[in-house]
Chain A
Amino acid sequence: MPRRTAKSQAVKSTAPSVLVPKVTPKRFYGHGLPRIDVQALTGKLVVVEGADGSGRSTQIARLVEWLEASGHHTVQVGLKRSTLVSEELEQAQQGNILSRTTLSLFYATDFADQLENTILPALRAGSIVLADRYIYTLMARDLVRGMDESWLRNLYGIALAPDAVFYLEVRPELLVQRVCEKNQALDFWESGLDLGLSRDMFDSFLKYQGLMRDTFRRLQRIYGFQIVDGECAPDAISEDLKRKIEHVLRGT
């Protein structure tokens, strides 16, 4: 605890206090990364998971506003944003030319690059990292496509266990409405068309998103993240998330 001087107390009486997040121990899920000292990671890692149309981006934008207003430095990461392979990954996806294991490893490379070059340095600097999806989406996509779970758990043993994970759950029937309203079209991958569940894109979307939701629930039991009802009003969800994140910051 910092020493309270007369001066700092004077400041405190005129300005709202800024909460200094409590440092809590961090761990990797598996083997982790070579030469990383987890004790030096003083920031917080908060993950928001959910399908497209679950309100993920909206909620993250609001959390950033709120955290910065409260005096916390934030850093945002997401899938397919690495310097190393994001372009190549985009190309590969457009052409649909990679087989399953390859695509999976490509995504893992993208993830590892951001983990080592963005997430860990930010946590070392004491920032709050907001991740727009994390390993769970990557694992769920692969599991739905029949990849071996133990292989995936070993692969993502490099991942740092976040301080909090929120999964915004929305029924596929409502997701499809939201996505149609936003894009007036369905996306090939988000509809799981590569799985051959149905030749009809709309049907395929519903089936695929249903499988994804089931898989997330299963992963929830392994990784213990918090399921948030993404069908509530956005304001109510924000308030709920803020409350939960406050606990994370206070270490309670």
Chain B
Amino acid sequence: MMRIELTVNGEKRSDEVEPRLLLVHYLREVLGLRAANIGCDTTSCGACTVLLDGKSVKSCTVLTVQAAGHDVVTAEGLAPDGELHPVQAAFRQNHGLQCGFCTPGMVMATVGLLSENPHPTEQQAREALEGNLCRCTGYHNIIRSVLAAAEAPEKGAQLTGVAENAEVSA
């Protein structure tokens, strides 16, 4: 077991974890944050996507110990005060989700995309989400949601999805 310290959704954590524990399992089983889902065994589907220091990563392919000292944000952490983050709001407004299984990953991948490329073209949005699979929507309304979120006036500072009180531990 190893002791790690990290920040998850703005909250400092200190936990003993097995070296082999995947970040997605840490989030789901240790912290009970179950928005991120496991949809495959091969890093193909992206249902587990979270932000690591503001960049979207597939948490099934990150060891928890690799996240030590870093800042993790999940879909739960995007809307700490209950009001939907602009990306979440855009997904609702554009019916960008159906069964919801890929949705937290899609949202986090979108937040990651928009922090790197605030105004993607449709093609850029499609390429950025290529690693996030969805069986329900045919991607049509997901892409609408991404493009709408990019135009949302209030996205500004919230876009990284990091809560304002977050402290990244060294």
A and B from one assembly? no
